[in-house]
A and B are shown apart, each in its own frame.
Chain A
Amino acid sequence: MARDSQAALVALNRFGFGARGGASGDLINAASDPRGFVKAELGRPNGVLLEAPGLQSTPQLGQAVFAYQDQVKQAREAAKAAAPTEAPPQAPADQKPDTKLRRNLSLNAVMTDIAGQMADAKPADNMAKPDTMQPNAATPPAAKPAPQPLNVIQKTFRAEALARLQRATLVECGFTERLVVFWSNHFCISANKGELARMWAGAFEREAVRPHVLGRFADMLKAVEQHPAMLFFLDNQQSLGPDSRAGQNRKRGLNENLAREIMELHTLGVGGGYTQEDVTSLARIITGWTFAGRQGQLGVPGSFVFNTNAHQPGPQVLLGKTYAPTGLAQGEAALADIARHPSTANFIATKFVRHFVADDPPAVLVARLRDVFVRTDGDLRALATALVDSDEAWKAPLTKMRSPYDFLVASGRLLARVPEDPSAYLNNLNLLGQPLWSPAGPNGFPDTSAAWAAPEGMKLRLDIAAQMGARLGNNIDPLDLLEFAAADAASIETRRTVERAESRQQALALLLMSPEMQRR
């Protein structure tokens, strides 16, 4: 049975988001048929889509941003107009009662008094609510002024984050959700680019990534590069063909940003056989790929449009092939060819194996997945299936480090807590250096153990685990959780460390930090 538990650990941790606690029986189910457990999700392509009440389409969201920006502008102008006559409301002088004069304080006053300095009232947590993991994060402080209401962009971002987190917490194995995270990071945008990017970050993943995670790479590539979020993130909406009508009328011209990243980061990879000429050429080819602005001259505001006026006319040579001037179809043909380029197959197979198996990916497995990618014309379900069917993926030791996102989701799953508010997750992701949908550059978050097992990161993980322990340890049996998480695949040392902890709180913190929970 020991071997089965070990395989179950691979099934759940290498491929999924870790075992769920409670009555899920994940580890037992995975142990009885580890491959089948992982592959079950691949047979449900519709299960990858994410639709939740209130999540809107990219044009709707874009229009909401335009409206919000108009409001802010109007308010600012109104304030400016009023400024000369009306002084801004003066903050009242410090009216805090002098506590020394009032010996018989009411509790209310005390709460008010200490809230600002150090205290925070919260409901007694007799039966732990399935809400946030961070102590005190859920309840507004007793006497602080009401926080600024969230604007539509913040609200949207949080709703998108919550939907994603809830899905990740609830799914059985989590393999397809892990695939979503992988592809979303491969084709990343950053919410920090601006208001539109923040607004669109979740929709981008829902609309451009999820439908193709078990589909064809070429389709995902096209969906991603034509998505307004990507066009905004990598500046293509500003790029004008030098000889296009718009290019001739204005001082602006070509912007190579998106074209370069398509080849360098999304498909061929550095050294994938393209030149600067090819970058420029692809940049020309995709001029005119943009989204309709707030005026809607080009189409529905916030939707992808091909702007002929900005498109560089004429044929273009890319990677040795000439593409006739067919407008939008010119770029689509170019992307379709890049998608099935041998360098792309190699680049994707390597990155895929590095993510799921080892920082130093086994060459045999990479070669096999590359062949599958080529043979199936980039069928991503076939790629995922080949990975799960390989022996290498099951034999390689669990040396990869869970990313902060994996770690937090796996912890939430083990504790059987479906988030009702994303704040704790978002805060902890920021703290641990993986702010949701906001990598520092277009190459996405790092994917090596060294990046995530850094000294400061480990210290912070421990602090977060200790907080979860302090908040949730009261109501759990840590040894039960260890059974859910690893059963007899847990090392003797981990079991002993959890058993010998001085309190349930400490036991939970140590369990969450154990190699069984950190490695995948």
Chain B
Amino acid sequence: MDCVENRLITSRRGLLLGGASFAAWAYLPKFARAADGRDPRLIVVILRGALDGLSTVAPIGDPDYAGLHGSIALTADGAHPAIMLDTFFALHPAMPEFARMYRDMHAAVIHAVATPYRDRSHFDGQDVLESGYAGPGRVQSGWLNRALEALPRGERVSSGLAVGPTTPLVLRGAAPTVGWAPVALPQADDDTAMRLVDLYRHRDPALASALSQGLQLEKAASGDDMKPKPGNAAMQMRQVARGAAKLMGADDGPRIAALAFDGWDTHANEGGPVGRLAFLLGGLDGALAEFESGLGDRWRDTVVVVATEFGRTARINGTDGTDHGTGTIALLAGGAVKGGRVISDWPGLKLANLYEGRDLKPTTDLRSVIKGVLQGQFGLSDRVLAETVFPDSAAARPMKGLVA
């Protein structure tokens, strides 16, 4: 198999340097399902900070939802009505593109989902989500990289594409990856800035005052912060997605990519139909639209998986936000998704049904969803998925029928 390895190395160099070596590279990736003419692509989007699933896809048919989510609950009417996905679930109004894909049967929601992790630390939760192991502390490789490695010999996809300044854990490991990041470097996001100002207020008022002023100068220079503009979080999501889609749209481009969007840790002033979460969801929605348009014809064979480390409390806290929780949502989008449905074994939001009396109870293992996608897209076997990609996960059976 030496020759295969050599080709992979060549491919990596070629991508890195953009030199002639890449153009001369004769190897074209083949896939497990190449026989039926498909050329599948998979994009994994990690939302770091724990997405509030109940605010993104709201169970407005659940009688307890409005009371629990209080001031930030979505409604089917009003100035910014949520978009009804069925008679029970409604999508956040900041996501019209996803709604369109859903109507076209190319997007799906899995609700009340969680990784096997049951504590509430972001770092550990992200490790479990990305490593694919059942518990924290394993950070050598990620499930997407092991899935890449497990693809049949000689039919390997080209390298996985790591989008961003570093390779996310989910794509780290032995299989070759290439990296790409927009040159325009992101500024520190507002959430990080707010946390730092808060720390300074308690410990170092002089620095609090200096930094607050610096941030205001910045705002004044760039205008209204909630409008997409170069440099803000929503615009950055779009920009990153546009670049990644362009790379993946090439004939010999990477078939698999992973990227992470930050900022979802909405402890305070989360906002309802408008506000901070709405702003971020708008960015995510824009990124999905960029994938769709950038991949062109390839979109037909694409699945985008959007996942987060855990959910947030069902009841809002004292600062119009939500704290670390458990069950949340996963989103699937792409031409290959058998969509137009919310897949959920809904646990209900009655106090007795909440996990530890506070969180949406997870009824679906996120690994089942991802396994279902990997199987549908690349034909990986139950055994490989249960032993290599997600070690010790035989109980989480691949979800069937996610991919058209």
Interface of A toward B, CB cutoff 8 Å: 103-115, 118-126, 128, 134-136, 139, 141-143, 449, 453-460, 462-463, 465-467, 469-475, 477-478, 491, 493-494, 497, 500-507, 509-510, 513-515, 518-519
The residues in B between 10 and 57 inclusive whose CB is less than 8 angstroms from any CB of A are 12, 14-18, 22-23, 48-50
Q: Say whether A118 contacts B202, CB under 8 Å.
A: no
Can you name the residue of chain A whose Cβ is closest to the Cβ of B165?
A135
10 contacts between A and B (CB under 8 A): A107-B253, A110-B247, A119-B182, A121-B18, A125-B166, A136-B183, A469-B192, A474-B167, A503-B49, A515-B204
Q: Say whether B251 contacts A465, CB under 8 Å.
A: no
Q: Say whether B196 contacts A510, CB under 8 Å.
A: yes
CA A467 – CA B183 in complex, angstroms? 12
Q: How many A-B residue pairs have CB under 8 A?
A: 220
Q: Say whether B18 contacts A115, CB under 8 Å.
A: yes
Apart from A123-B179, A456-B217, A509-B188: 12 A-B pairs, beta carbons within 8 A: A106-B23, A118-B183, A120-B181, A125-B179, A135-B165, A136-B181, A139-B16, A453-B210, A457-B214, A462-B196, A462-B211, A470-B164
User: Do A459 and B250 form a contact, CB below 8 Å, given A123-B16, A465-B188, A466-B187?
Assistant: no
Can you name the residue of chain B whose Cβ is closest to the Cβ of A121?
B16
Q: Say whether A121 contacts B217, CB under 8 Å.
A: no
CA A115 – CA B159 in complex, angstroms? 19
Interface of A, helix, strand, loop or mixed by DSSP: helix
Q: Say whether B22 contacts A114, CB under 8 Å.
A: no
Can you name the residue of chain A whose Cβ is closest to the Cβ of B212?
A455
Q: In the complex, which of the residues B16, B199, B243 contacts A122, with contact meaning CB atoms closer than 8 Å?
A: B16
CA A473 – CA B169 in complex, angstroms? 11
* Residue B66 at the chain A interface, CB threshold 8 Å: no
Q: Say whether B18 contacts A112, CB under 8 Å.
A: yes
Chain A residues within an 8 Å CB radius of B253 = 107, 110
* Residue B79 at the chain A interface, CB threshold 8 Å: no
User: Do A456 and B126 form a contact, CB below 8 Å, given A126-B177, A462-B188, A474-B166?
Assistant: no
CA A110 – CA B169 in complex, angstroms? 26
* Residue B206 at the chain A interface, CB threshold 8 Å: yes
Q: Say whether A502 contacts B264, CB under 8 Å.
A: yes
- How many B residues are at the interface, by size bracket? 35 or more
Q: Say whether B16 contacts A455, CB under 8 Å.
A: no
Q: Say whether B262 contacts A455, CB under 8 Å.
A: no
User: Do A470 and B243 form a contact, CB below 8 Å, given A459-B211, A497-B199, A502-B265?
Assistant: no
Which are the 6 A-B pairs with shortest beta-carbon distances?
A: A459-B214, A502-B265, A142-B18, A502-B49, A466-B188, A455-B214
CA A369 – CA B183 in complex, angstroms? 50
Interface of B toward A, CB cutoff 8 Å: 12, 14-18, 22-23, 48-50, 122-123, 126, 159, 162, 164-169, 172-173, 176-189, 191-193, 195-196, 198-200, 202-204, 206-207, 210-215, 217-218, 239, 243, 246-247, 249-254, 260, 262-265, 296-297
Q: Say whether A118 contacts B122, CB under 8 Å.
A: no
User: Do A458 and B250 form a contact, CB below 8 Å, given A136-B183, A503-B262?
Assistant: no
Q: Say whether B207 contacts A518, CB under 8 Å.
A: yes
CA A505 – CA B261 in complex, angstroms? 11
Q: Say whether B214 contacts A497, CB under 8 Å.
A: no
User: Do A513 and B196 form a contact, CB below 8 Å, given A106-B22, A136-B181?
Assistant: yes
CA A257 – CA B131 in complex, angstroms? 64
Can you name the residue of chain B whose Cβ is closest to the Cβ of A516?
B203
Query: Taking each of A135, A502, A519, which has the highest tally of chain B beta carbons within 10 Å of its own beta carbon?
Result: A502
